[in-house]
Amino acid sequence: MQALELYRSVPRYVAARVVGSRLPGLLAGPVAPLRLVTNDEPRPLGPGWTRVRPRLAGICGSDLATIAGRSSFYFSPLVSLPFVPGHEVVGEVIDDVDDLPPGTRVVLDPILACAARGLDPCSACVTGRHDRCDHITVGHVSPGLQTGYCADTGGGWSRMFVAHRSQLHPIPDELPDERAVLVEPLACAVHAAERAQVDDTADVLLVGAGTVGLFTLLALRAFTPAGRITVVAKHRRQAELARRFGATEVVSPGEVVGAVRRATRALRLDPERGGGFLLGGVDVAIDCVGSRTSLDTALRTVRSGGRVVLAGLPTEGADLTPAWFRELEIVGAYASTANPVGGLHASTFDAAVGLATDAALGDAVGATYRLPAWREAIDHALSAGSLGTIKVAFDLRDHRGEEDA
């Protein structure tokens, strides 16, 4: 069975870490710690598990950070190598599993929590917060915070992986694959919007207009009473999409401090070194990038006592002085929960299926690639922002002839 595999190769991994920060174009080349392999088909890991045939599998920013060696070594005990990446998946169930007959089209909640690991629920899982599960390295499944980072389960960038019933959400027939593959990132965005705890008419700043930023914008408009939402966009096409998705104002990274100052009538101060900051500012700033610059921007434009949400995987440290001096709340937003959203009586995944069905997403999947063309796919995903592509995905449908390629 064909799969893309991320394998341990210390020299290459280190090379990717060194090179990745400067020359992203090389990542898809010889230094990438990724390779196309032919593996044995995975077997269900126990009762409640089924094989799944992926149809489309997205490329996430966290996948790119992992391939580039930009994610923190903090993650190293939370994954098991080698693994097949791919946690944004729409696919078909192969085996009869509980209430799901073979052929059921599903989307994957990738978190490998207590239920999937055959364990009694931990204190987080018992409340539906499987995103906060403490048991993601134990039980009968190898360590892995999610499918796509675990050696036993396989992942979406392949012809087949295995999943536990608790991870699978059947989807309506009328939801096309190209929308369904967005459900997992939309669920993360719904969760980030929840974690922002936006009060009535709150002023919100979204730093970044890639997939995370744009989807969080959609979720804020759909599920919160946010007032003014300013979006920081690097690229023209991202700015257009941000306007379409409900931004009040879209600004470039160079304009953001001035724009927030005007909108919130704050006072701007400029230190001897580093960017300007505000006394006053937005109520909530959401970092949807995870770079040092994006997090600094969020920390420097939020009012005293305000909230900074980490919606993008942070890959670099920022200057935390404003968090101390302005007494900011810094909250993480990882994955999604099984709890009801904003009085909707729907889980984040159900809310995300609703968004995927109803939102004016247009051609959000801007390009699809087959597995052998993975270098082009990764390259495209790395420059998706400037090319105006929201999501790049692998297409695993109907080309079985490649199986032995």
Of the candidate spans 110-118, 208-216, 248-256, 278-286, the one that interacts with Zn ion by CB under 5 A turns out to be 110-118
Give the total residue count for the chain. 405
Tell whether residue 125 is a contact of Zn ion (CB under 5 A).
Answer: yes
| Residue (198 or 311) nearer to Zn ion, CB | 311
Angle at 24 between CA 110 and CA 34, to 5 degrees: 50
Of the candidate spans 67-75, 106-114, 276-284, 354-362, the one that interacts with Zn ion by CB under 5 A turns out to be 106-114
Question: At its nearest, how many Å lie between Zn ion and the CB of residue 113?
Answer: 5
CB 399 within 8 A of CB 62: no
Per residue, the 3-state secondary structure of 117-173, as one string, reads CCCCCCCCHHHCCHHHCCCCCCCCCCCCCECCCCCCCCCCCECCEEEEHHHEEECCC
Question: At its nearest, how many Å lie between Zn ion and the CB of residue 17?
Answer: 20
Tell whether residue 113 is a contact of Zn ion (CB under 5 A).
Answer: yes
Question: At its nearest, how many Å lie between Zn ion and the CB of residue 331?
Answer: 18
Residues touching Zn ion, count (CB under 5 A):
8
Question: At its nearest, how many Å lie between Zn ion and the CB of residue 264?
Answer: 31
Residue 91: name the closest of 166, 189, 187, 158 by CA.
158
Selected binder of Zn ion within 27, 32, 60, 107 (CB under 5 A): 60
Residue 167: name the closest of 125, 124, 217, 214 by CA.
125
Phi, psi of 240 (to 5 degrees): -60, -45
Selected binder of Zn ion within 133, 239, 310, 365 (CB under 5 A): 133
Selected binder of Zn ion within 135, 169, 179, 191 (CB under 5 A): 135
Of the candidate spans 97-105, 112-120, 164-172, 285-293, the one that interacts with Zn ion by CB under 5 A turns out to be 112-120
Residues with Cβ < 8 Å from 10, sequence gap 6 or more?
none
| Residue (50 or 62) nearer to Zn ion, CB | 62
Record the tokens describing residue 357, joined without a space. Answer: 């069905």
Residues with Cβ < 8 Å from 203, sequence gap 6 or more?
227, 228, 230, 263, 264, 282, 283, 284
Q: Which of residues 368-397 bind Zn ion (CB under 5 A)?
A: none
Residue ranges that bind Zn ion, judged by CB under 5 A:
60, 62, 113-114, 122, 125, 133, 135
